[in-house]
Amino acid sequence: MCVVLLTNSLYAQNKEVRLSMNFRNVTLENVVKQLENATGFSFIYGEEVKLNRRITLEVEKLTIQEVLQRVFEKEPIKFEISGKHILLYKRHTPQKPASRKFTISGYVTDGASSETLIGANILESRRSTGTATNPFGFYTLTLPEGDAELTFSYLGYETLHSRFELDRDTLLNIRLNSNNQLQEVVILSDKREAGIESTTMGANEIPMAQIKNTPSILGEADLLKTIQLMPGVQAGMEGFSGMYVRGGGPDQNLVLLDGIPVYNADHLLGVFSIFTPEAVKNVTLFKSSFPARYGGRLSSIVDVRTNDGDMKKYHGAISIGLLTDKLHIEGPIIKGKTSFSLSARAMPTAFFKNLIVDKDDDSPNVHYADKYNYYFYDMNAKLNHKFNDRSRLFLGFYRGKDHYHYDSREDYPGNSSNIDTRYYDNKNHLNWGNIIGYARWNYVFNNRLFGNTTFSYNSYQMTLTGSLDDVKYRNNQLMDRNHYNSKFHSGIRDWSARMDFDYTPVPEHHIKFGGEFIYHTFSPGVSTSKMQEIENGMAQTDTLYNTSTSRDMNGQEFSIYAEDNLVLSDRLSLNAGVRFSLFHTQEKSYFSAQPRLSARYDLGRGFSAKASYTCMSQYVHLLSSTPLSMPTDLWVPITKDIRPMYANQYSIGGYYTGLAGWEFSVEGYYKQMRHILEYQDGVSFFGTSTNWEEKVETGQGRSYGLEVMMQKNFGRTTGWLAYTLSKTEHRFTDGNINQGRWFPYKYDRRHSISLCLNHKFSNRIDVGASWIFNTGGCITVPERATVIIRPDGSTETGTYISQRNNYRLPASHRLNIGVNFNKKTKHGMRTWNISVYNAYNAMNPNIVYSEWQMTNNLNGYYNNYFNGNYNNNYNGKPGEVSQVKEEGKSVIKKLTILPCIPSVTYTYRF
């Protein structure tokens, strides 16, 4: 199909300018030229766009949109304004029923690398029907016999048109060529999975370019930090990468790496996520109407898909930053058949045994030496083999680890009068990380049925070890030694098998169905410790000390699902599905039926409305008593006494896309949660899971809120402004927590604002900035305390707390700025990134704690008592010492550990 593209750059495009024009017996070409000269817009249309007759019309003081409506009111032409372009295409007219229908199917890939494109759009322009590629780049479209005119488009790629006679089922693989100059071309077909135009609510596809350009701490682009800027999503602690979505906890987010669950997605206690941006191809966030193929969590789905590997040529990137160094390389093993993708990231401190050594040798009798080190690393590897157009095999592997150790030694050297020597050696090591491995097979059974089979292994393990040596030598011979070592480890391992099918019988029905089986092994906590002794050079019997073991717990999870994304009319579309799941543990089974329904209605003129209902269940819990994401947090399953968590979420929203290049949305939601866990007052799970079921209470929760978002998608300046108004409460009716009354969740924040902007000055310079404002969460602090000091110096303290989470923290806000300086070299692209985290040094509370401030002065009492002066009167008779009662109040103090932090990163892409 030949496309006519007429441009005029002499005028600024403004949809609000009022036009007065007179058309006298003119052709379509004359109409276009007059409007281009008057407005500066460029028209894009194909040869099939024709007038039934010449136009004679006079208009007075109308906008460009109103003029076009008048011009084409009785013509078979539709229009759409996008950025500085106006797209004309043939209006759909009813077709005579065709005797036969045929199916077009295939893959849409990058023309240079053969990387599959997720969510690419396919439109049949004659019938205004279309589809989009699935998470593996495959599409299928069934059309009546006859002429077919397909348009393939993907943001950042040249649009491709294909016209042919459809008289049989056709395999059509499409390669799209990248073209940065066409970033502003309108997307012609709606994506079915995410976005305002999709049927699904609360689903956002996060562009990788946006993630890489969003400034973060120490210049590290971070996937989860960018997601935190979306409405309804917030961080737990200021500056950390924990995710709390619509009132849910961190364990209520299902984070998927190529479809495999990730149980710990954080590095450095939550400052960074485990995802290396260079390894990631596509990210989709679901926070409302979850499609039925997802399950196992209550609050959100983060679906991360990694690069398959370039089938044509080798390329990659090297990055050096203040915190980490990164390497990415991909290319063909067998051109056109087999490719690989490899990404690695590590802190340089991984190559040092001890990063910090602190010695104190000034004392003549004792020498101190403290040694520290911390590092983390990630590695992603993927193989992609194409057997033929129907069959593909993927092998993937991920390994990530955090390591911290602290060694302390004290030496007491001998001298001429004392030849004995002695030393204390204290070592502590903490390691945690994930291992993921999978094999995936894609197979096209026929041009309407696509299958995906996955076998995977997933493991998260944490190990905490410590040792203490107290050693004495005499005349260089070992005399006495007390050696104590301890080890605590916990984790979770999954073996899983999954099959997913995409079936598209007709364009109006896109059916997905499948099933999954997961075998879980939970190790909530195993603690062992041992004492080894040597006395007078003779070894003593080893002693097991304080050994605590929680045996492994197994769980079998089975689920099946079916969903249909169906188009009922030109205005109404639905996504309806149901998921059935069964979890068996401790000789008890729990069954759950989870219906899902989402509807979209096109109101016309760019307005649309959506509504959804989602039911979710969750069979795992994360036990944590700290506000940070700690590796010592424990994953535990449901038991015969602890029931699964359930959530019902109702959402409604309104959307507007009538302003070219802009999207506006407002969504309201109400979520009910049952059988949620909270730890009892005064209980901590730090490093132990012993009798954990006796330390928790199950109750209910509710969360409701309003989310507003304004987003600009095209042009040199892009970004969004998001505002969230929300409230989250919990209640435990048995009365053991807060006397059975509702109380605010610890991360209940009433207001949240995020602004994210990117501006491209030129091909050499672009800048990104993000500003975040959050009102404070809640903590529990004793409001008053009574300290009783007895005559013998002993004390007893009693506290008063009116309710749980009774203190609201102050608001936090910060500005992050990053600038990229790009230069094209002979062999690639060089980029210097200069970033400033917390640019105006807002002293936000990263850690909050309380101290007591006493109303009276006890120093006099202590001084007199310990100096033997008993002739003071403290609530007693003269000459006697009685009990002293001291009243006090709690004073909240904050600690800021993330002030203004500048950074520089160098990246070379080849």
pLDDT tens digits, one per residue of 355-385: 666 666 566 666 777 788 888 999 999 999 9
Q: How confident is the model at residue 790 (pLDDT cuts 50, 70, 90)?
A: low
Crossing angle of helices 28-39 and 64-71, rounded to 10°: 170
Can you count the helices (H) and strands (E) in the chain? 5, 58
Distances (CA, A) of 136 to 197, 300, 343, 712, 807: 21, 22, 20, 28, 48
The bridge status of strand 170-171 relative to strand 101-110 is parallel
In-domain check, residue 264 = yes
Cβ atoms within 10 Å, residue 208:
17
Which amino acid is present at 396? Answer: G
pLDDT digits (tens, 9 = 90+) for 647-689: 999 999 999 988 878 899 999 999 999 998 887 766 655 555 5
* Same-domain check for residues 590 and 538: yes
Q: Rounded to whole angstroms, how far apart are CA atoms 672 and 728? A: 10
User: Is 17 part of any domain?
Assistant: yes
90, 116, 146 - which closes a domain = 90
The answer to whether position 890 is within a domain reads no
CATH code of the domain in which 600 resides:
2.40.170.20
H, E, C per residue of 495-544: EEEEEEEEEEEECCEEEEEEEEEEEEEEEEEEEEEEEEEEECCEECCCEE
**Are residues 809 and 674 part of one domain?**
yes
Residue 561: which of 497, 500, 647 has the closest Cα?
500
302 and 335, same domain (yes or no): no
Q: How far is Cα 885 from Cα 787, in angstroms, rounded to an integer? A: 6
Integer Cα distance of 879 and 870 in angstroms: 6
Task: Give residue-wise pLDDT tens across range 571-597.
Answer: 899 999 999 999 999 889 999 999 999
Does residue 862 sit within a domain? no
CB 25 within 8 A of CB 68: no
pLDDT band at 542 (very low <50, low <70, confident <90, very high): low
Judge contact between 615 and 165, C-beta under 8 A. Answer: no
| Residues 182, 188 contacting (CB under 8 angstroms) | no
Please tell me which of 121-130, 167-176, 216-225 the model is most confident about, judged by mean pLDDT.
Answer: 167-176
**3-state per-residue secondary structure call for 183-207:** CCCCCCCCCCCCCCCCCCCCEEEEC
Does pTM top 0.85 for this prediction?
A: no
Q: Judge if 735 and 658 occupy the same domain.
A: yes
Q: 76 and 116 in one domain?
A: no
Question: Is residue 885 pLDDT above 80, yes or no?
Answer: no
Least confident of 152-166, 792-806, 831-845: 792-806
Based on the fold, state whether residues 123 and 70 are members of the same structural domain: no
**Domain termination site, one of 271, 306, 341:** 306
- The angle at the Cα of 327, spanning 321 to 332, to the nearest 5 degrees, equals 160
Q: How far is CA 315 from CA 311, 346, 384, 698, 908, in A?
A: 11, 20, 16, 52, 11
pLDDT at 578: 97
Query: Has residue 439 been placed in a domain?
Result: yes
Rounded to 5°, angle at Cα 14 from 13 and 15: 120
What is the rounded distance in angstroms from the CA atom of residue 572 to the CA atom of residue 510?
A: 15
What is the average pLDDT across 538-550? Answer: 62
Do residue 112 and residue 79 come from a single domain? no
Mean pLDDT in residue range 736-749: 86
Q: Which two tokens stand for residue 339?
A: 């490719």
**Residue in 596, 578, 650, 647 with CA at minimum distance from that of residue 619:** 647
Kindly state whether residue 855 falls inside one of the protein's structural domains.
no
Q: Residue 882: pLDDT above 70?
A: no
Q: How far apart, in whole angstroms, are the C-alpha atoms of residue 699 and residue 732? A: 4
- Residue 5 reports pLDDT greater than 50: no
The CA distance from 525 to 639, in Å, is 16
Domain count of the fold of the chain: 4
Map tokens 């969460």 to a residue: 777
Of 283, 306, 329, the residue that ends a domain is 306
pLDDT at 184: 36
144 belongs to a structural domain: yes
Closest CA to 727 of 700, 708, 751: 751
- How buried is 616 (Cβ within 10 angstroms: 0-12 exposed, 13-18 middle, 19+ buried)? buried
What is the pLDDT, as a whole number, of residue 821?
A: 93
Task: Report, in angstroms and rounded to the nearest whole number, the Rg of the chain calculated over CA atoms.
Answer: 33
User: Which DSSP string corresponds to 404-418?
Assistant: EEEEEEEEE---SS-
Among 524, 407, 409, which residue's Cα sits nearest to residue 466? Answer: 407
Is 856 a domain residue?
no
Q: Helix (H, G, I), strand (E, B), or coil: what is residue 350?
A: helix
Predicted local distance difference test score (pLDDT) of residue 708 = 95
- Residue 63 is part of which domain span? 3-90
Q: SS3 for 240? A: coil
Residues 349 and 286 in one domain: no
CATH classification of the domain holding 275: 2.170.130.10
Beta strand segments in 83-132, E = 85-90, 101-110, 121-124, 129-132
Residue 171 belongs to domain with CATH number: 2.60.40.1120
Tokens for 270, please give them: 């939550």
pLDDT reported for residue 2: 36
What digits encode the pLDDT tens for the residues 791-800?
A: 666 666 667 7
Domain check: are 325 and 296 in the same one?
no
CA distance 399 to 378: 6
How confident is the prediction for the chain on average, in pLDDT?
Answer: 82
Q: Do 678 and 780 belong to one domain?
A: yes
- Give rounded-to-5 percent helix, strand, coil for the chain: 5, 55, 35
398 lies in the same domain as 279: no
Cα 427 to the center of its chain, rounded Å: 35
CATH number for the domain that contains residue 76: 3.55.50.30
Other CB atoms within a 10 A radius of the CB of residue 260 amount to 22
For residues 234 and 341, state if they share a domain. no
Closest to 503 in 3D by CA, of 148, 125, 105, 193:
105
- Is 7 or 369 the better-scoring residue by pLDDT? 369
Contact 180, 542 (CB under 8 A): no
